Structure 1
Amino acid sequence: MSKTPLNIQDTFLNQVRKDRIPVIVYLVNGFQIRGVVRAFDNFTIVVEAEGKQQMIYKHAISTFIPMRQVTLTQAEPAADGDAGNA
């Protein structure tokens, strides 16, 4: 049985988008954008801020901060064999 690796970035961005969680995006030049993620792909993120959509290249992002806790829907499988053994 093959395991598909957990893609944290896509899982995180998709959950933020679906739940419409407000975010602060800090760019590498120090600029910050506050808004809601509307879409994303491998290279870009579309954020709606102040009624305008902005496409941001991922390589320009330094930090991505959600305004509330993000629950990742795809959980990592537990390790086999060593749970509860001391």
Structure 2
Amino acid sequence: MTARPCVQDDFLQTLAKDKTTVNVNGIRLSGQLAGFDQFAVLLESGAGVQLVFKHAISTVMPANGRGPARDPADAPLSRDKPNHVQARDR
């Protein structure tokens, strides 16, 4: 059995790879994700690089208000249930 992908890791990895400027709520920070691990994120901004522990964060979202670009293969398979999440193999 293969391990299921971690939604958090996928989301953060896409933001970091695309160098998307993000707003981090809970402590009101803004910058680009330079990296992350199980417990913390590195946030790079004009003020430098900050290590922010995930337990202090309530949300992370792109500063432009739009999510990262998604692969068309990630689109729901059924138009009848657009809010239904479907598992996919990797």
Is the structural similarity TM-score above 0.5?
yes
> Where does residue 83 of structure 1 map in the other structure?
none
User: Which of the pair has more CA radius of gyration?
Assistant: 1
> Where does residue 14 of structure 1 map in the other structure?
13
The structural deviation recorded for 1:6 is 2.0
Normalised by the length of structure 1, the TM-score is 0.74
More strand as a share of residues: 1
CA RMSD in angstroms comes to 2.1
Rounded to whole Å, the distance in 1 between the matches of 2:24 and 2:43 is: 9
1:54 and 2:50 matched:
yes
The structural deviation recorded for 1:52 is 0.5
The structural deviation recorded for 1:51 is 4.0
> Where does residue 84 of structure 1 map in the other structure?
none
Rounded to whole Å, the distance in 2 between the matches of 1:60 and 1:72 is: 27
1:4 and 2:6 matched:
no
Aligned residues: 74
Normalised by the length of structure 2, the TM-score is 0.71
The structural deviation recorded for 1:72 is 4.7
- Residue 8 of structure 2 aligns to a residue whose secondary structure is helix
Unaligned runs of 5+ in 1: 79-86
Give CA-to-partner distance per residue, 1:27-57, whole Å, 9 cap, x none: 2xxx311100001011010000114000000
Give CA-to-partner distance per residue, 1:3-30, whole Å, 9 cap, x none: 3212100011111000001100012xxx
> Where does residue 82 of structure 1 map in the other structure?
none
Higher relative contact order (CA 8 A, sep 6+): 1
The structural deviation recorded for 1:63 is 1.1
Unaligned runs of 5+ in 2: 75-86
* Aligned residues with identical type, % of pairs: 30
